[in-house]
């Protein structure tokens, strides 16, 4: 048998036998090193005999000790050859003593890599600059390299980053993985699909266990139509975990049978929460302002009332999406002033239709000292925020518009000074709505204690526009004011209660805001309503948790006067007297003590985590902290559910529109669960495209093949 055949046979041998032989070879090498070290040790005899000086000991003294770690993996024979302990490949020794060729062999030796895989340990993952790394989750390697673990990690990549299943079969990806791990094997699309479903089911089981330890869950839901004109409903659960962190998870993304009536929506929601086993923990549900959603909320309320599972005394069961309310308010205002914005819109369109015009416009702006980092944009009439961005950028280039009109006589849409003033007023008003909507629509959505302050800013801006001197601003403000008054009363109580539970705001903030929001004759009644409902909620929580604590104490036979009666009967009168004193006295409740204390002073320069404050003070306010925990997790926007439709659109694109409904639900929900377990948001294909559009990489023209 040739040397190469022997090497192949050795590679295909039993792995255990290979490991034993490797360990024995290594022990032999250590014995040789010990012999060399003993030979290099100076002779303690100061007068050595000639025989000892001329013997092997003197030769050993002249031999240089090998310090390279590579010799742990190679063995030298009498023919001045070294062979790898793992694959038995032989190399000639070099007189200079260099070991570079041996190190290169170890990097490509498959048997050595298998030996390394047999060592138990973990691979720490350090967070990179982009932050998209799993939080505190090193990869444990139990024993040898596990191909099943490799598949599991690949399935997490595909589901979390919303990649197609065919990604596992990409040739270049397989080449890259093969370079990093020669043992990696290509996985078929069918196999990785099954693995992805298995990963999602595992994450689902973990989430069910989390829900078992949660007392209250709030829901948001919205509907969406895919490119196949199939209607989908997304249901998102919002809760606070054991560490007092605000969490959200998509629990359902399923197709709805037409028509999308209130009955169909309510049945789908009830079916979803029953599958998850959380039907007794639902506190509120937030929906948009569609009539079908109103009917669905009414049917759901009847179902919860029938089972006596209507929490918060039914005050906040159905919450209207404030982001939709703000959209309706702004749209009514913009429709009144549409004719005043035509000059700016048409002027931007004229410049955007020609690249040459944009270049010339940019040169004029540069000459005038205007920064050209902001790009002109055309608005979409159905999206008021795009109108705001269009006006904001156009105002930035106001002088450049005037300079361009002097050079291009075909430019007929130069706004007059009055129109520029009107655009600035609109932009100033829309900036308030944009800031509020950004908070409502944020990825890390806020707790409900911040909503009252934001709505106050909106109402104040609308009132200022409504009371303005010019007719232009009055028309816009009047339309917004009427729409705002129509929907404000339905969410004001929740916002007021949540603001009171903010230690920086308390009752003083409600008194101040309601004076601005409501008319003088109804301010006090609105404040009293918020107080009354907060008190009623606290009393309900007090009865629930005090009764549970008393039942626990009653089972403890080692305390109380009954235990004393057997040994210290003379103290019975004392205990009876103390119990009478307790019943006659009325101690202040958690709520009373909380409201009596001064507001918590916190610097605006640093962020304030209201949940962290309540976690710290849960011992002081045992009952009130439980109420605060449930109130602060109530969302007033369906944006969390709407964001899932972006993922649904990326998964159900024109090339994957034939995916089955259960696979689509697994991918959307599973991707959300995996990303939620990360320290930072994973980058999907859409995120990567947005980032790459901003890249400014200089490509040498010599590298381009341009004819």
Residue 463 exposed, middle or buried by CB count within 10 Å (0-12, 13-18, 19+): middle
- Across 64-68, 75-79, 310-314, the highest mean pLDDT is recorded for 310-314
Among 111-120, 442-451, 572-581, the minimum mean pLDDT is found in 572-581
Domain assignment present for residue 160? The answer is no
49: pLDDT strictly greater than 60: no
Residue 51 falls within a domain, yes or no?
Answer: yes
Q: Please give the model's pTM, rounded to 2 decimal places.
A: 0.70
Cα 649 to Cα 653: distance, rounded to the nearest angstrom: 6
Most confident by average pLDDT, 367-381, 442-456, 489-503, 537-551: 367-381
Q: Does a structural domain hold residue 377?
A: yes
In a domain, 50, yes or no: yes
Answer whether residue 158 is part of any domain: no
Mean pLDDT computed over every residue of the chain: 78
3-class secondary-structure state, position 283: strand
Q: How many domains does the chain have?
A: 2
Give tens-digit pLDDT for 630-667.
999 998 888 766 555 555 556 666 656 667 888 888 98
Please say if the pLDDT value at position 246 is more than 50: yes
DSSP state of 257: P
Sign of CA dihedral 437, 439, 442, 445: negative
Q: What residues contact residue 700 under an 8 Å CB cut-off, 6+ apart?
A: none
**Banded pLDDT at 110 (limits 50, 70, 90):** confident
Instruction: Examine residue 421 and state whether it is found in any structural domain, yes or no.
Output: yes
- pLDDT number for residue 638: 81
pLDDT at 381 over 80: no
What's the per-residue H, E or C state across 193-220? HHHHHHHHHHHHHHHHHHHHCCCCEEEE
User: How far, rounded to the nearest angstrom, does the alpha carbon of residue 9 sit from its chain's CA centroid?
Assistant: 51
CA pseudo-torsion sign 21, 22, 25, 30 = negative
Domain endpoint, select from 475, 493, 517: 517
- Residue 185: closest CA among 161, 168, 197: 168
Q: Residue 707: inside a domain, yes or no?
A: no
Return the minimum-mean-pLDDT range out of 88-92, 437-441, 442-446, 625-629: 442-446
Are 541 and 626 within 8 A, CB to CB? yes
Domain that holds residue 91: 3-117
Q: Residue 529: helix, strand or coil by DSSP?
A: helix
Q: Is the model more confident about 310 or about 66?
A: 310
Q: Is residue 81 part of a domain?
A: yes
Number of neighbouring beta carbons within 10 Å of residue 182: 12
Mean of the pLDDT values across residues 528-555?
79
Return the pLDDT at 649.
Answer: 57
Q: In whole angstroms, what is the distance from residue 179 CA to residue 371 CA? A: 47
Q: How far apart are the first and last CA of the chain?
A: 58
Cα 451 to Cα 465: distance, rounded to the nearest angstrom:
21
pLDDT tens digits, 431-481: 999 888 877 765 455 788 888 888 888 888 998 898 888 888 888 999 998
* Helix or strand (DSSP H, E) at 107: helix 100-108
Highest mean pLDDT among 72-81, 163-172, 512-521: 163-172
φ, ψ (nearest 5 deg) of residue 652 = -95, 60
The residues, any chain, with a CB within 8 Å of residue 227's CB and separated by 6 or more, are: 649, 652, 653, 654, 657
pLDDT at 405: 93
Mean pLDDT, residues 536-547: 88
The runs of H, that is alpha helices, within 181-290 are 189-212, 262-276
Quick check: helix, strand or coil at residue 232? strand
What integer pLDDT is reported at residue 689 of this predicted model?
A: 53
* Residue 547 pLDDT class (50, 70, 90 cuts): low
Question: What was the pLDDT predicted at 249?
Answer: 93
Q: Can you read off the two tokens belonging to residue 285?
A: 């549900």
DSSP 616-670: HTTTTSHHHHHHHHHHTT--S-SHHHHHHHHHHHHHTSTTSTT--HHHHHHHHHH
| pLDDT tier at 687, thresholds 50, 70, 90 | low
pLDDT of residue 126: 45
Q: Band of the pLDDT at 557, cuts 50, 70, 90?
A: very low
Last residue of a domain, which of 517, 532, 566?
A: 517
Q: Which residues pair with 255 in a beta bridge?
A: 232
More confident residue, 118 or 309: 309
End residue of a domain, out of 93, 117, 141: 117
d(CA 251, CA 237): 7
């Amino acid at each position: 048998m040739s040397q190469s055949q022997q090497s192949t046979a050795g590679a295909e041998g039993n792995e255990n036998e290979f490991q034993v032989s490797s360990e024995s070879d290594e022990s032999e090498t250590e014995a040789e090193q010990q012999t060399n070290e003993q030979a290099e040790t100076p002779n303690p005899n100061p007068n050595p005999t000639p025989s000892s000086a001329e013997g092997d000991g003197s030769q050993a003294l002249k031999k240089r000790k090998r310090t390279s770690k590579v010799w742990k993996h190679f063995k030298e024979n009498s023919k001045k050859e070294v062979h790898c302990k793992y694959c038995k490949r032989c190399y000639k020794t070099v007189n200079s003593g260099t070991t570079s060729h041996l190190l290169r062999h170890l990097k490509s030796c498959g048997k050595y890599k298998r030996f390394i895989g047999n060592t138990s340990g973990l691979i720490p993952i350090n967070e990179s600059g982009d932050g998209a790394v799993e939080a505190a989750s090193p990869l444990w390697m139990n024993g040898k390299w596990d191909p099943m673990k490799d598949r599991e990690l690949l399935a997490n990549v595909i589901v979390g980053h919303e990649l197609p299943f065919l990604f596992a079969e990409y040739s270049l990806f397989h080449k890259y993985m093969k370079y990093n791990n020669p043992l990696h094997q290509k996985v078929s699309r069918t196999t990785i699909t099954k693995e992805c479903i298995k990963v999602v089911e595992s994450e689902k089981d973990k989430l069910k266990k989390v829900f078992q330890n949660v007392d209250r869950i709030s829901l948001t839901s919205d509907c969406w139509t895919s490119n196949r004109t199939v209607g989908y409903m997304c249901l998102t659960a919002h809760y606070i975990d054991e560490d007092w962190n605000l969490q959200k998870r998509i629990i359902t993304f399923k197709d709805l049978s037409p028509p999308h009536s209130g009955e169909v929506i309510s049945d789908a929601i009830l079916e979803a929460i029953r599958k998850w086993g959380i039907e007794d923990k639902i506190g509120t549900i937030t929906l948009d302002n569609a009539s079908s959603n109103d009917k669905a909320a009414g049917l759901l309320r009847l179902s919860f009332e029938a089972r006596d599972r209507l929490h918060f005394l039914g005050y906040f069961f159905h919450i209207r999406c404030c982001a939709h309310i703000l959209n309706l308010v702004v749209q009514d205002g913009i429709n009144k002033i549409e004719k005043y914005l035509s000059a700016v819109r048409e002027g931007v369109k004229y410049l955007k239709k020609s690249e040459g015009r944009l270049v010339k416009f940019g040169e004029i702006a540069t000459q005038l000292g205007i920064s050209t980092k902001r790009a002109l944009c055309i608005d979409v009439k159905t999206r008021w925020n795009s109108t705001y961005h269009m006006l904001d950028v156009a105002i930035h280039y106001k002088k450049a518009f005037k300079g361009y009109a002097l050079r291009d006589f075909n430019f007929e849409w130069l706004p007059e000074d009055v129109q520029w003033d009107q655009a600035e007023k609109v932009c100033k008003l829309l900036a308030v709505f944009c800031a509020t909507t950004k908070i409502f629509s944020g990825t890390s959505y806020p707790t409900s204690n911040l909503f009252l302050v934001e709505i106050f800013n909106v109402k104040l801006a609308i009132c200022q526009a409504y009371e303005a001197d010019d007719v232009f601003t009055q028309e816009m403000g009047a339309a917004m004011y009427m729409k705002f008054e129509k929907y404000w009363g339905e969410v004001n109580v929740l916002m007021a209660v949540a603001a009171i539970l903010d230690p920086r705001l308390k009752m003083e903030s409600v008194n101040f805001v309601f004076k601005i929001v409501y008319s003088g004759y109804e301010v006090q009644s609105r404040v009293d309503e918020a107080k009354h409902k907060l008190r009623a909620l606290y009393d309900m929580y007090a009865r629930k948790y005090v009764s549970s604590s008393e039942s626990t104490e009653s089972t403890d036979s080692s305390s109380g006067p009954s235990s004393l009666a057997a040994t210290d009967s003379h103290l019975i009168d004392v205990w009876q007297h103390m119990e009478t004193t307790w019943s006659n006295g009325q101690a202040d409740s958690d709520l009373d003590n909380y409201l009596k204390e001064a507001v918590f002073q916190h610097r605006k320069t640093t962020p304030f985590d209201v949940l962290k404050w309540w976690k710290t003070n849960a011992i002081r306010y045992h009952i009130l902290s439980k109420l605060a925990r449930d109130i602060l997790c109530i969302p007033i926007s369906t944006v969390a559910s709407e964001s899932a439709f972006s993922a649904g659109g990326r998964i159900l694109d024109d090339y994957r529109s034939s995916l089955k409904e259960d696979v689509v639900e697994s991918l959307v929900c599973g991707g959300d669960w995996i990303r939620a377990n990360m320290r930072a948001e994973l980058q999907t294909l859409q995120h990567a495209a947005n980032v790459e559009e901003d890249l400014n990489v200089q490509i040498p023209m010599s590298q381009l093949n341009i004819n």
